Amino acid sequence: MRATTIDRRQALGLIGAGALLAPPFAPALARAPLAHDGLTIATGSGLVRGKLAGGVRVFTGIPYGQAARFAAPRPAPRWAGVRDATAPAPVCPQKPGMTPFAGTMTEDCLALNIWAPATPGRHPVLVYIHGGGNEGGWSGEALTAGDRFAADGVVAVTVNYRVGALGFLETGEALGRDYAGSGNNGMRDLVLALRWIRANIAAFGGDPARVTIAGESAGGKNVGTLMGMPMADGLYARAAIFSGGGQTVHTLAEAQEFARLFVAKLGGADRLLTATTDQLLAAQAAARSAWPRNFPFRPVVDGQALPLVPLARLRAGKAPRVPLLIGSNADESRLFLNAEQAAGPIQPQALSNATVAEMVARDAAYAQAFPDLSTAERHWRLITAEEYGMPCLRLALAHAHSGAPVWRYRLAFPAPGGPFKGHSPHVLDLPFTFDHLTSPGMAQFFGLSAAEQPLADGMHGAMVRFVQGQAPAGPGLPAWHGYDARAHATMVLDQVPALVSDPDGVERKIWGE
């Protein structure tokens, strides 16, 4: 089997084609009671009206902020009358994917979507942060719609944040002190969204004291970053990281170096504020191709918004000791590297955290530890560990060491069909977690159908229980004990799920963990 190479910026758009969203926001406290039908809601910025769909209330495209180019986000202005919250949310500027977005692309894209139970209450809240390499992705993907969570008594929120250069380019050196810190604007967007949620979610039936932040891929890394940001402390009560980590960040010097490269590709600093969005995206693609590392649009340890590498903050015990659910998939890198690429020398642009020299040394250790693997199979395993497996394990160890409750998983379920048949690649967790096995693209990519519903019931049920404030548990899953450095108890989600002690102990020791 020769897997197609897929740009991680396009992975969600390709796999989860579809949409639901549109625009609103509010900095003020919104405690107004539900309208008689529960569809007209008072927020701090004005009234919004959603719709009833599938037995749950849906509000799409509510603006939570305003985004001016390379500037810190501001709360959205108030509006008069009742704002329609039934159209697709705007899309933050990005390279087009293989499937069209339902929303309109615009730089002023800070909006969120809410799925709420039809009955009023103080329901727990799930805030999901999309992936896409911090260069793409959208809050309106059908694959990650929150309708199944709302049906189970959870208020689900999906959030736009600026991606690519508009969200993660440090322009302070090029544009002056007023723009210092712009490399963390995407993260500041997320903090502003969480503040909006704290102020307004009660009006939608949510409990602002029971907010779980969750994300997959870049979104999972951004959840790890939020745990490293003091300005986000107190805005969430739980965290869930799927295929993420807490160390994929720039130093300020690295961020400035990448910004210089970007400016050169754009044609000069004077064009940063005057270039069209398409010109920015072209420079973004050129700079990314010339940068000798994967994931160039990453948060910046700037000493202000992000004082430390998030992993370092957790290791120092300075992060909030909130319960954490964290894990990764067994074959993540198969989505990005085809067999020919995996069989060749390890390339620097395939790596997000380690150097090629470090990986060559570990490759030799993997060859000794796993002699039956082909070169391609060994490299898939090694690169999966480099970007996802080990960063998640490190974060789990650090947080558990601080005394916080931690539950760890590894998805090893083999895709039943498609180009990744027999493997558990990047993104395979999402249709199970969101209980959307039959979303567009699932049969094409993974061969998923209603036959896999038992695992979806278990994984989705475990997430619901976690968001509700309990230990994760779901139908078909054995008792899920917490993770620590002694037993390394890990829920291996396979055809027969099992709680396993230290399932990747050999790799963990190779990586020195």
Has residue 2 been placed in a domain?
A: no
Predicted confidence at residue 98, as pLDDT, reads 63
Q: Are 297 and 259 within 8 A, CB to CB?
A: no
Has residue 284 been placed in a domain?
A: yes
Has residue 1 been placed in a domain?
A: no
Predicted confidence at residue 100, as pLDDT, reads 77
CA 286 to chain CA centroid, Å, is 24
Residues 6+ apart with CB under 8 A from 41: 30, 32, 34, 35, 47, 48, 49, 50, 59, 203, 204
Name the nearest CA neighbour of 121 among 237, 210, 206.
206
Has residue 3 been placed in a domain?
A: no
Has residue 377 been placed in a domain?
A: yes
Residue 279's domain comprises 8-510
Name the nearest CA neighbour of 460 among 133, 220, 189, 128.
128
Q: Are 369 and 484 within 8 A, CB to CB?
A: no
Predicted confidence at residue 9, as pLDDT, reads 52
Residues 376-390: b if buried by 16+ CB within 10 A, e if exposed: bbbbbbbbbbbbbbb
Predicted confidence at residue 255, as pLDDT, reads 98
Q: How far is CA 483 from CA 61, 213, 261, 283, 403, in A?
A: 38, 19, 42, 43, 11
Q: What is the pLDDT along the chain (513 residues), one digit of tens a residue?
A: 333 445 555 554 444 433 333 333 333 333 444 446 899 999 999 999 999 999 999 999 999 999 999 999 999 999 999 999 999 999 999 998 766 789 999 999 999 999 999 998 899 999 999 999 999 999 999 999 999 999 999 999 999 999 999 999 999 999 999 999 999 999 999 999 999 999 999 999 999 999 999 999 999 999 999 999 999 999 999 999 999 999 999 999 999 999 999 999 999 999 999 999 999 999 999 999 999 999 999 999 999 999 999 999 999 999 999 999 999 999 999 999 999 999 999 999 999 999 999 999 999 999 999 999 999 999 999 999 999 999 999 999 999 999 999 999 999 999 999 999 999 999 999 999 999 999 888 988 999 999 999 999 999 999 999 999 999 999 999 999 999 999 999 999 999 999 999 999 999 999 999
Predicted confidence at residue 7, as pLDDT, reads 56
Predicted confidence at residue 4, as pLDDT, reads 43
Residues 6+ apart with CB under 8 A from 373: 366, 381
Listing DSSP states for 446-502 in one string gives H---GGGHHHHHHHHHHHHHHHHTS----TTPPP-PPP-TTT-EEEEESSS-EEEES
**What's the number of domains the chain is made of?**
1
Has residue 264 been placed in a domain?
A: yes
Residues 6+ apart with CB under 8 A from 139: 21, 89, 111, 112, 113, 130, 158, 159, 160
CATH number at residue 65: 3.40.50.1820
User: For the CA atoms of the chain, what is the radius of gyration?
Assistant: 21
Has residue 305 been placed in a domain?
A: yes
Predicted confidence at residue 32, as pLDDT, reads 40
Residues 6+ apart with CB under 8 A from 31: 202, 203
Name the nearest CA neighbour of 164 among 111, 213, 218, 112.
218
Predicted confidence at residue 34, as pLDDT, reads 43
Has residue 202 been placed in a domain?
A: yes
262, two tokens: 């970007």
